[in-house]
Structure 1
Amino acid sequence: MTQRRALAGALALLLAAAPAVGTAADQVPAAAIDRDVAGALHRFGVPGAAVQVIRHGKVIYTKAFGALDAIGGGAPVRPDTFFEIGSITKQFTAAAILQLQEAGKLQVDRPLADYLPGAPHAGEVTLRQLLSHTSGLHEYLDGPGIDELAIRPIAYPDLIARVAPLPLDFPPGSRWSYSNTGYLLLGKVIEAVSGESYRAYLQHHIFDPLGLGDMRTTAEETHLPNMALGHHHVEGRLARAGIIHADWAGPAGFLVMRLEDLAIWDAALRGGKVISMDSYRQMTTPFMTSQNGSADYGFGLFVGTVYGQPRIGHTGGSLGFTTADEYFPKQDVRIVALTNLGDDSPEAGEALTNIVFTDLYPTLSAAAERPAPDEDTHVTQAATGAFRDLQTGGDYAHFSAPLGAKLAGDKGAKFATDLAPYGAPTAATFKGARQSGVEHWYDYVLQFGPGVFLPFAVRLGDDGKVAGFSIG
């Protein structure tokens, strides 16, 4: 879902009273995790969080940090606190689609027109492309004033009308571009072929069989006891964030859950209790685009690597929350972090899962952070200087004249807004050089303290300055 950009603050946090769980036999560095998570929350001004680690099916660490409400004061976060989980909702939607395929009611390689003939570009895109963010459909949450609009009710026809007149952003299947629109439409497909509302389908076919109780969404948020309140930073100051309306979030991101709920869901999904193991393999197989190869995304799940290790999972972000639910198959470890801060530069939920992984496996993370050989210090200086120019929106002295001129306008201002909250890089790790056509590129990973990093690549012009760059 949408995630707001803001400056990170420095809100002092008190650890909540919930104890860490683990034994000496588990070799869980609980004290290090406590320290490093609390440090990151302080560094980025996160009001509260709940963190859990499950290894080989056993909970080895659970702890809550900070406050439900940093503005009004009051109760601390607990391990059973409710949080919006944002786009982690997408894996529930994807699983529902696969359940219906197993029941013979749809096929993911059929056109959307088979199930929603009136939908935008319905004859051009398949369900598989909607599931994998490769349809080319434009993002319905784009546009000015979305924070104010998304807290109000809206009818589905008005929601889809935001993108219906627009052309596809690219030919279906050719590229990957994250789009909530695909999951909005998948929710309607579920309704069309099942004869139930999206909410009723999830309740009857997922929540009830797994013993998860009543499904909770952003629509119930204000009535839930022990519900974390969403926050974001506005001009560097922490403020209460709005609640995204269930009409806007829906199948793309409206669920509200606890650590214990996600633990049940994750084990059931991976264990064949929600969908077959063959369907789960489909969920966790990256889509191959025709232009750029692997999308590093299956159905409702990112499928990639972090610290050189395979990782399957998803992050979630809304107006006032960022979350992450990440599984590392080689280690058989799942790390979940739920936070009540909606800033996405960086996303606190993902940063916390990275931090916990490095505390659990310091040797692996250290190996992944070693630089590649043959680093050119001149290129590294140009790259780090260019990144600082992007953060400050300054004179772009490290860029070639043509690129610097382009950045001097609105494009440069957007990069400054997005990147300044990360703070100055604490390290720039050279990862190698590569040839792309006639262009020679240099790849780096920029570190911003524990758990926070950005891939950054540059190519230099004849003047030795940065003539091209990519982030992420």
Structure 2
Amino acid sequence: MIARWTGMACLVGALAYPAFSHGTEQERHLTPAQTSQIDGDIQAFLKRFDVTGAAIAVIDRGHVVYTQAYGLRSRDGQLSVRTDTPFEIGSITKQFTAAAILQLQEAGKLSIDAPLATYLPDAPHAKEVTLRQLLSHTSGLQDYLSGPEPESEIDRLASHPISYRDLTARIQNLPLAFEPGSHWSYSNTGYLLLGRVIEVVSGESYRAYLQRHILSPLGMSHTFTYADAVQPTGTALGYRHVEGRRERSPDLHPGWTGAAGFLVSTLSDLERWDRGLASGRIVSIADYDAMKNETVTTGGQKTGYGLGLFVSKVFDQPRTGHTGGTQGFTAADEYFPQQQTRIIALTNSGDKTPEAGEAITNIVFTRLHPALVAKADEPAGHEPAGVNAMARSSFGELQAGTVYRSFTAKLGGRLVEGPGKKLMAQFAGYGNVSRAIFKGAEERDHQTWYRYVLIFSPGVRMDYCVRIDGDRVAGVSFG
């Protein structure tokens, strides 16, 4: 995954459910009102954020109940997205890598609690980190994408070939960010190394291993990598915005992503993957449970991540799954266990502010379970006077990146020195805050922080915390 922080209101009516194994259940649980609301909200979202195309699937209690396609897979020739259009899925690839590692452990060929040096003695910090820590992003290894170059230079470099040795050399001499196991930090490096472990232990290339042990057994005939010499016709092209202008995204070289994020797939193949994984066909049920079990640091802090799967809540509802993003695509594959509902969204928009894939899954869930969402969005009681206004105004100033009147002089000065520009680039694209929902106060290091959920538009929301000193904001954090 390479993380990067007009004409889109076209709804394509083709429902290509024959590509799914459960097509006879189409729309079994969705009313015409729900489908109309979902489509209207998604079209509005795509238009507002200028997303070129998208495809969605809703799976209820194991049955595909709705699929739909929107917009264009290619602006050249105005080619429409179909529900069987392949999209890059970015870091959703990490689920496959994690499952492959667990398969090899079940076969007695490795142990996830062994040091990395057991399999890759020359890897960075190989004696200090375990495979489990790589799987859970608790290794402390620096991300190879966070080099000394400016982001624009990484963007250029990632379009050119690079060897495994040169990629690991980028972080070879960097210290660990923290003692392994003590904290959580998302690291593509960990999954790059896990992909190499798979090759060394199995004696196969990563691509060949996936094909023989995962893709073929599950009948995932429309999943491939953008390293493959022969690729299906009809694959979506990626787009993104640079300084407000939409452009074709540059092609990533697979050497930069590999086991961390170079798969391309379809709605139906991802549904097959999810069903196969959950049924014990890929790894044992015990190992699938381990993938969904939230990792806890050595200090007792929850991380929000298991082994290849995020473990979180949205609308106060448990959720497991993964998102993915490359320079021209975002995707989300999210499961809500209490509702037994899975929502998959694939888009050919590389913008991360907001991520279209995750926003679309939020939109769909909101229309499927409006009462749950309404309850989750009820404000907590005892909101201090004036704090809501300060939360809204301070976030607006972070988006504008010019003056910081809502902040204390100390924090405002720090923002001007540099972080302000980064935060402006990260948040400006969300648009205006339509609602700031107070969710209570909490103590951190003897200081009171006020928690909010900021709502921007259907599906687009963010956790935002502020600390107040007098009538100014003295600290902010983002969930």
TM (norm. structure 1) is 0.96
Which of residues 11, 14, 21 is equivalent to 1:15? 11
**Residue 224 of structure 1: how far off its partner (Å):** 2.8
Deviations 1:316-370 (A, max 9, x none): 0000000000001111111000000000010000000000000100001111111
State the one-letter code of the partner of 1:252: A
1:105 is aligned to 2:109: yes
1:469 is aligned to 2:473: no
CA distance 1:343–1:26, change in 2 (3 Å): closer
Distance 2:205 2:119 in 1: 15
Distance 1:466 1:334 in 2: 39
User: SS of 2:321's equivalent?
Assistant: strand
**Residue 26 of structure 1: how far off its partner (Å):** 4.4
User: SS of 2:73's equivalent?
Assistant: coil
Q: Which residue of 2 aligns with 1:412?
A: 420
CA distance 1:161–1:123, change in 2 (3 Å): same
- Identity level (%): 54
State the one-letter code of the partner of 2:336: F
State the one-letter code of the partner of 1:49: A
Count of matched residue pairs: 466
Q: Which residue of 2 aligns with 1:185?
A: 193
In the alignment, is the contact (CA less than 8 A) between 1:175 and 1:292 conserved in 2? Answer: no
State the one-letter code of the partner of 1:58: H
In the alignment, is the contact (CA less than 8 A) between 2:222 and 2:269 conserved in 1? Answer: no
**Residue 245 of structure 1: how far off its partner (Å):** 1.2
Distance 1:387 1:450 in 2: 19
Deviations 1:354-412 (A, max 9, x none): 00000100001111111000012311111111111111012200000111111112111
User: SS of 1:343's equivalent?
Assistant: coil
Distance 1:292 1:245 in 2: 39
Distance 2:239 2:335 in 1: 27
Deviations 1:247-273 (A, max 9, x none): 111000000001111010000001111
Distance 2:397 2:117 in 1: 47
Distance 2:310 2:211 in 1: 25
Equivalent residues in 2 for 1:190-201, closer than 5 Å: 190-201=198-209
Q: Which residue of 1 aligns with 2:442?
A: 434
Distance 1:178 1:221 in 2: 30
Equivalent residues in 2 for 1:83-94, closer than 5 Å: 83-94=87-98
In the alignment, is the contact (CA less than 8 A) between 1:85 and 1:322 conserved in 2? Answer: yes
Q: Which residue of 2 aligns with 1:248?
A: 256
In the alignment, is the contact (CA less than 8 A) between 1:137 and 1:182 conserved in 2? Answer: yes
Distance 1:442 1:354 in 2: 24
Q: Which residue of 1 aligns with 2:99?
A: 95
State the one-letter code of the partner of 1:343: D
Q: Which residue of 2 aligns with 1:64?
A: 69
Distance 1:289 1:438 in 2: 22
In the alignment, is the contact (CA less than 8 A) between 1:186 and 1:251 conserved in 2? Answer: yes
Equivalent residues in 2 for 1:272-421, closer than 5 Å: 272-291=280-299, 293-421=301-429
CA distance 1:222–1:320, change in 2 (3 Å): farther
Equivalent residues in 2 for 1:185-264, closer than 5 Å: 185-213=193-221, 215-220=223-228, 223-264=231-272
**Residue 191 of structure 1: how far off its partner (Å):** 1.0
In the alignment, is the contact (CA less than 8 A) between 2:326 and 2:350 conserved in 1? Answer: yes
State the one-letter code of the partner of 2:38: I
In the alignment, is the contact (CA less than 8 A) between 2:30 and 2:66 conserved in 1? Answer: no
CA distance 1:222–1:11, change in 2 (3 Å): farther
Deviations 1:152-176 (A, max 9, x none): 1111100100111100011111111
CA distance 1:214–1:73, change in 2 (3 Å): closer
In the alignment, is the contact (CA less than 8 A) between 1:218 and 1:243 conserved in 2? Answer: no
State the one-letter code of the partner of 1:14: C
Distance 1:207 1:20 in 2: 21
Equivalent residues in 2 for 1:99-178, closer than 5 Å: 99-143=103-147, 144=150, 145-178=153-186
Equivalent residues in 2 for 1:69-84, closer than 5 Å: 69-70=74-75, 72-84=76-88
User: SS of 1:161's equivalent?
Assistant: helix
User: SS of 1:68's equivalent?
Assistant: strand
User: SS of 2:51's equivalent?
Assistant: coil
1:47 is aligned to 2:55: no
CA distance 1:379–1:155, change in 2 (3 Å): same
**Residue 289 of structure 1: how far off its partner (Å):** 1.0
Deviations 1:171-229 (A, max 9, x none): 11111111000000000111111111111111111112112237511124884311100
User: SS of 1:63's equivalent?
Assistant: strand
Distance 2:104 2:16 in 1: 40
Distance 2:156 2:232 in 1: 23
Q: 5+ residue gaps in structure 1?
A: none
In the alignment, is the contact (CA less than 8 A) between 1:83 and 1:256 conserved in 2? Answer: yes
Distance 1:20 1:208 in 2: 22
User: SS of 2:74's equivalent?
Assistant: coil
The alignment's C-alpha RMSD in Å is: 1.5
TM (norm. structure 2) is 0.95
Distance 1:366 1:441 in 2: 24
In the alignment, is the contact (CA less than 8 A) between 2:16 and 2:83 conserved in 1? Answer: no
Question: Mean Cα displacement is larger for which, 291-300 or 236-245?
Answer: 291-300
CA distance 1:284–1:155, change in 2 (3 Å): same
In the alignment, is the contact (CA less than 8 A) between 2:2 and 2:257 conserved in 1? Answer: no
CA distance 1:417–1:137, change in 2 (3 Å): same
**Residue 24 of structure 1: how far off its partner (Å):** 5.9
Distance 1:406 1:221 in 2: 49
User: SS of 1:209's equivalent?
Assistant: helix
CA distance 1:454–1:424, change in 2 (3 Å): same
Distance 2:384 2:222 in 1: 58
